[in-house]
Amino acid sequence: MNSSTSSSETSLSAESAIRFSQRGYASADQPISVLMAQALAQPDLISLAAGFVDQTSLPVEIVRAASEKLLSQPEVGAAALQYGTTAGHSGLRDVICQRLAEADGISSEGLAARCMVTAGSNQLLHLVAEAILDEGDVVLCAAPTYLVFMGTLAGVHATSWSVETDHEGMVPESIEATLRQFEEKGELHRVKAIYGVTYFDNPQGISTTPARRAAIVEIAKRWSRKHKIYVIDDTAYRDLRYEEQDEPSLLAYDDMGSHVIETGTFSKSFSPGIRVGWGVIPAELFNVLVQLKGNIDFGSPNFSQALMAEILTSGAHEQQVETLRSAYCEKRDAMLAALEASFGGKDEVSWVHPKGGLYVWLSLPEAVKTGPKGQLFDEAIRRGMLYVPGQYCFPAEGVPGKTNTIRLSFGVQSPDRIHEGIASLAAAVGAII
Amino acid sequence: MNSSTSSSETSLSAESAIRFSQRGYASADQPISVLMAQALAQPDLISLAAGFVDQTSLPVEIVRAASEKLLSQPEVGAAALQYGTTAGHSGLRDVICQRLAEADGISSEGLAARCMVTAGSNQLLHLVAEAILDEGDVVLCAAPTYLVFMGTLAGVHATSWSVETDHEGMVPESIEATLRQFEEKGELHRVKAIYGVTYFDNPQGISTTPARRAAIVEIAKRWSRKHKIYVIDDTAYRDLRYEEQDEPSLLAYDDMGSHVIETGTFSKSFSPGIRVGWGVIPAELFNVLVQLKGNIDFGSPNFSQALMAEILTSGAHEQQVETLRSAYCEKRDAMLAALEASFGGKDEVSWVHPKGGLYVWLSLPEAVKTGPKGQLFDEAIRRGMLYVPGQYCFPAEGVPGKTNTIRLSFGVQSPDRIHEGIASLAAAVGAII
């Protein structure tokens, strides 16, 4: 849209051309907007699409008590209402790292110094993308992966490139084969990171096994020959476990703290309205991320951070996590039961049983196209339910996307509405087959 | 740092090269870090540098009451703790726009639909930079201007280009002359915006007069021939007025809502820890900014926004502004009295009398170099005070910077400490002349 010629006109044209930046133009069309527009246009729709959280279990009384505790102490209250540092509230960083070290069985020494607080873990992912990716650079992701992160990558003109996954997470052999392909093309330098949602992932609900965790970090290190390849471990759903025991994160496999960028958030495990996320970052990247964040917002709201520090320290967070685990476990069971009732025994229909998180991944017969231009999407909306087309979750490059898949979220709706929504989906499938 | 050759090595090198993005490399060195490092290294320093706010007047009781009001109503509280929309809390956007329309004497109709809430006004400035600026693009600024915004421009590889200012603000003839120069070079398309802090500006404390406000908008419109030139009106200090009456912002001169991007914040007038800023944006830019913000953080913390909406609606914000006006007015007077006591009648020493805001701009004899590598900066620190070298506030292009200037902030220190700090500065000047 830019003109490189000068103009000698002096008249005022009524409508001069608008000129966005390249990023401005690139930003204007994210697939998620289609879904949001649908949901807004038809508010009585049962949305099993958004990864939002349960409204009824939000921790109103816990935040009320924490807020009162902070603000009833004039000096503590004033400190919370003042500017903080760009890296984040030091008390909060300390308690996040103590908690993480304990869960991972690692030393907390030095962790807080490379921990920063962000507006949700999404901002951390955005900052990492800004810090390490130029146009044409590549991040290896699971096929499928977190669709918003692909938007973040597109925003910096980088490419998400998918590798195969199975019920244990990303397949190491597929990561290696992909790296080898880049090497053979003379393009290994383009690969800057491997990204994974390692606990109850978005969208499949699959957790990465300990052996796979070790393998992914080992591969990243081994392939960091001339240039470093980071591993981004997105642990957004770690606390939302409904079965079995917690496992150490990728950080536990990165002895030197040199390759793993770990992100987490209290949006899913506590409150998205408080909007506190965090990252633990290799030391060499830390200052760059802080500087980039300084240019965006000077640091996340200090008051939110002071609240979260109080809530974590008092043990109220763990209490809320227990509440959520039981609420979400019931909803997950409702969704699995509803799927069994509607799709059980049907040919070519299967779904993943997630041990945590907010999502169930459904595969329909290959002939059924679930995308926004296929018959099913409109038919499902007509029958009162909304889902996320699985194809939104597949990177354009790498492993081909599956056009017969659906991401279902059980986070927002009640068990009854989940049953109703799945029944509507089944009816829609029946109507178009 | 990128290598474009492939590697066939298979050994693990102990230290593989780190590769930041171009933005990552560009971000790593902002002048403000020098000052922050100084302040941290010597915590007993009297800092007249940072534009932070008065600690003793932070609105602890107001926030306590607002928080209790929200959280004592289960449904209202839950809504505040849930995700919000990326554009921001609708109640907050409404009250911001009603307040703005009243202050500017314009209609509030349609304003809220192009109002978005951000993490401080800084994030709004960042988003605008992202949305409209590519490498080599130009924003015209006052000489001197807000130094952090220059960092934001540098972050997107755009250029801040300064025009002359006098006691009435940016000089229209200088803006026109600069635009003409770009046109003559065939580079008018590079100029995407004019940026001004129009109330008690950072760093000079100068307000733009009504005639100048009208002229700046008229120039932007008239020069938007082939391509639109926006005007960014940064009203961060508007509420902090200690003399005379409020004047309408640039928005009042933009009948069609087509050229002015207005930003404001409650960080200075209320609490930086709540960290709520806003922008009113021409309609064509609005969705792009929302999409870009969606990629960064999905929207600012909903809880902070719900708190600010309650605080504005209840009238508590106006009450706090009154408290701040009297606290800051006393501090401003202390700084002006201290300057008179230390520098009054001295040759080639002058300062601006600000009618609001947080800053006093001091000019010393031309021979005195105030920069971080000059004698005065170190001497002042040795004597226990810190200031912002004026040269940090001048864009590299355009009107030459003045190396004998200083930005002093009276926001943080008590009147006694302000006197002490200015006395130390005067002693430092005396010692090096």
Q: Which of A252, A289, A233 is nearest to A88 (CA)?
A: A289
CB–CB contact B58 A68 (8 Å): no
Best mutation target among A127, A183, A275, A307 (most B Cβ atoms within 10 Å) is: A275
Residue A82 has pLDDT above 80, yes or no: yes
Residue A80 has pLDDT above 80, yes or no: yes
Of the pLDDT bands very low, low, confident and very high (cuts 50, 70, 90), residue A50 is confident
> Contact at 8 Å (CB) between A298 and B147?
no
Mean model confidence pLDDT for chain A: 92
Question: pLDDT per residue over B196-211, tens digit each?
Answer: 999 999 999 999 999 9
Quote the minimal CA–CA distance from B324 to chain A in Å.
14
User: Minimum mean pLDDT among A36-45, A77-86, B174-183: which range?
Assistant: A36-45
Q: Chain A partners of B275 at a C-beta cutoff of 8 Å?
A: 297, 299-303
Question: pLDDT per residue over B58-101, tens digit each?
Answer: 999 999 999 999 999 999 999 999 989 999 999 999 999 999 99
Please give the helix or strand (H or E) that residue B258 lies within, else none: none
Percent of chain A with pLDDT over 70: 94
CB–CB contact A27 B61 (8 Å): no
Nearest to B273 among A11, A80, A188 (CB): A80
Nearest to B273 among A3, A9, A303 (CB): A303
Summarize the confidence of residues A183-209 as an average pLDDT: 97
For residues A371 and A34, which has the higher predicted lDDT (pLDDT)? A371
Question: pLDDT per residue over A216-237, tens digit each?
Answer: 999 999 999 889 999 999 999 9
Mean model confidence pLDDT for chain B: 92
Residue B9 has pLDDT above 50, yes or no: no
pLDDT score for A332: 98
Residue A51 has pLDDT above 80, yes or no: no
pLDDT score for A7: 37
Quote the minimal CA–CA distance from A113 to chain B in Å.
15
Of the pLDDT bands very low, low, confident and very high (cuts 50, 70, 90), residue A9 is very low
Residue B160 has pLDDT above 90, yes or no: yes
Burial B253-273 (b: 16+ CB within 10 A, else e): bbeeebbbbbbbbbbbbbbbb
pLDDT score for B13: 41
Best mutation target among A3, A117, A276, A296 (most B Cβ atoms within 10 Å) is: A296
DSSP B56: T
User: Omega before A282 cis (within 30°)?
Assistant: no
Quote the minimal CA–CA distance from A81 to chain B in Å.
4
Quote the minimal CA–CA distance from A93 to chain B in Å.
17
- Can you tell me the distance from the alpha carbon of A49 to that of A60, in angstroms, rounded to the nearest whole number? 25
Of the pLDDT bands very low, low, confident and very high (cuts 50, 70, 90), residue B30 is low
pLDDT score for B338: 98
- Can you tell me the distance from the alpha carbon of A87 to that of A115, in angstroms, rounded to the nearest whole number? 8
Q: What does the block give as tokens for B328?
A: 């800051």
Question: pLDDT per residue over B407-420, tens digit each?
Answer: 999 999 999 999 99
pLDDT score for A91: 97
Nearest to A123 among B132, B185, B296 (CB): B296
CB–CB contact B132 A13 (8 Å): no
- Can you tell me the distance from the alpha carbon of B104 to that of B343, in angstroms, rounded to the nearest whole number? 39
- Can you tell me the distance from the alpha carbon of B128 to that of B56, in angstroms, rounded to the nearest whole number? 34
Nearest to A297 among B8, B56, B122 (CB): B122
For residues A32 and A23, which has the higher predicted lDDT (pLDDT)? A23
Give φ, ψ of A322 to 5 degrees. Answer: -60, -45
CB–CB contact A192 B126 (8 Å): no
Taking CA–CA distances from B158, the nearest residue in chain A reads A21
Percent of chain B with pLDDT over 90: 83
Nearest to B304 among A118, A294, A301 (CB): A301
pLDDT score for A15: 57
Question: pLDDT per residue over A264-297, tens digit each?
Answer: 999 999 999 999 999 999 999 999 999 999 888 8
pLDDT score for B28: 58
Nearest to B6 among A56, A151, A183 (CB): A183
Of the pLDDT bands very low, low, confident and very high (cuts 50, 70, 90), residue B7 is very low
Residue A24 has pLDDT above 90, yes or no: no
CB–CB contact B271 A303 (8 Å): yes
Residue B394 has pLDDT above 80, yes or no: yes
- Which domains, and CATH codes, for chain A? 29-58+319-432 (3.90.1150.10), 83-314 (3.40.640.10)
Question: pLDDT per residue over A139-156, tens digit each?
Answer: 999 999 999 999 899 989
pLDDT score for B228: 95
Question: pLDDT per residue over B352-384, tens digit each?
Answer: 999 999 999 999 999 999 998 899 999 999 999
pLDDT score for B344: 96
Percent of chain B with pLDDT over 70: 94
Question: pLDDT per residue over B106-129, tens digit each?
Answer: 999 999 999 999 999 999 999 999
Residue B132 has pLDDT above 70, yes or no: yes
Q: What does the block give as tokens for A217?
A: 């970090």
CB–CB contact A119 B119 (8 Å): yes
Cα dist. A233→A201, B135, B195, B373 in Å? 11, 32, 40, 43
CB–CB contact A78 B84 (8 Å): no
Q: Chain B partners of A295 at a C-beta cutoff of 8 Å?
A: 27, 30, 126, 148, 151-152, 155
- ipTM score of complex: 0.91
DSSP A209: P
Of the pLDDT bands very low, low, confident and very high (cuts 50, 70, 90), residue A12 is very low
CB–CB contact B20 A306 (8 Å): no
pLDDT score for A33: 67
Cα dist. B176→B5, B132, B141, B147 in Å? 49, 21, 13, 23
